[in-house]
Structure 1
Amino acid sequence: MSVEIMRSRVQSTENFIETANDKINRLRACRARLMGQEITMAHAKHTFKEPALTKDTWYGKHANEFDAEREAEVVNSYNDLLNEVGETIEKATREIQSTQEVINHQHSLLSDYRIGLERAIEREKER
């Protein structure tokens, strides 16, 4: 192959690797923020059940209705949101791993392209 073709392959592979590394960095930053939010949310979760509705604080039909509504509307929704955050963290982790595998493959190709470029340059010099 010609020197120009090999240089083009090297350059495009280097560009791809750079773009993929940027993607990984953004995903890692996003995952870190989500993990921080997940921790904050998990620590705050207990506050949705406060005050506890006991015989000493509030009891009866209205207390039971309020407690059931609080559970259905607030606690369950919060748990759903917390689960979604966890799933998003897992998805980001899988995407990071997948992208890293692609980068590793591209590094292998880049090495092969550089060897090919060196050989093409040597052949050009011999002419």
Structure 2
Amino acid sequence: MSVEFYRNRIRETENAIQAANEKIARLRACRAHLIGQEIIMGDTKHTFKEPELTKENWYGKHADEFDAERESEVVGPYQDLLNEVGNTIEKATNEISATQDVINFQSSLLSNYQIGLERAIEREKEE
């Protein structure tokens, strides 16, 4: 194969590696932000149950209905959102790992292309 072929492949592979590294940087920043939000959300979750409805401050049918509604309309959906944040963090972590695998593969290709380029240059010198 020609010197130009290997130079093109090297350039394309270097561009692919750079793009993958940029993707990893964005994913890591997103993941870090989500982890911060997950911590904040987890720390504030208990506030949705305040004030606690007890026999001393409020009881009866309306208190039970309000407590059930608070659980179904606020606490439950908030927990669902918190779970979704956790799932998104896991997806980002998996995507980082998969992209790193692509980088490793591309780096291997790059090395092979560089060796091929050196050999092609040597062949041209011999001709």
Using structure 2 for the length normalisation, give the TM-score: 0.99
Structure 2 letter corresponding to 1:110: L
Give structure 2 stretches of 5+ with no counterpart.
none
Identity within the alignment, %:
72
Taking the TM superposition and a 5 Å limit, the aligned residue runs for 1:102-113 are: 102-113=102-113
Query: Map of 1:1-127 to 2, 5 A cutoff?
Result: 1-127=1-127
**Deviation at residue 126 of structure 1 after TM alignment:** 1.6
Write out per-residue CA displacement over residues 64-111 of structure 1, whole angstroms, 9 at most, x where no aligned residue.
000000000000000000000000000000000001001101100100
Deviations 1:41-68 (A, max 9, x none): 0000000000000011111111000000
Alignment coverage as a number of residue pairs = 127
| 1:40 maps to amino acid | I
Give 5+ residue unaligned stretches, structure 1.
none
How much has 1:123 moved relative to structure 2? Answer: 1.0
